[in-house]
Amino acid sequence: MTDTPQKPELPELPDHLSSDARSPHHVAAVFEHDIGIRLNDKELFNVEEYCVSEGWVKVPAGKTRDRKGNPLMIKLKGKVEAFYK
C-alpha cells in the first residue's frame, strides 16, 4: 500500500469575481490559491475584478485615485479566461 499525496480540492472559479472584500462578488476561499487571468490570450497581473460571461476585466488606471483613496478602474473588454496557477 503506497499512499500518494493528493492535491487539495480547488474551489470552482466563479463567473464574476472581485478582489475587493466589500464587494458581493468576493469569494475568500478562491483567494487562498494563486489565480491567473488572461485577456485576449495575454496574462494580466493587476486585475481587480473580472466577468467571464460578459468578457471584461477591471484594472487600475495608473496611479490615479478617487476621492476616497481607491484606485480608479478602467474596464477592458475581450476574451477572458480565469485559471489556477
Q: Is residue 31 part of a domain?
A: yes
Residue 67 grid coordinates: 476621492
Residue 24 grid coordinates: 458581493
Domain interval for residue 55: 16-84
Nearest partner of 60 among 42, 46, 43, judged by Cα: 46
Return averaged pLDDT per consecutive 10 residues of the chain, 85 residues in all: 64 92 93 94 95 96 92 96 93
d(CA 30, CA 45): 16
CB 36 within 8 A of CB 84: yes
Q: Which residue has the cell 478602467?
A: 74
The model's pTM: 0.82
pLDDT of residue 6: 59
Total domain count, the chain = 1
CB 73 within 8 A of CB 49: yes
Q: Is residue 37 part of a domain?
A: yes
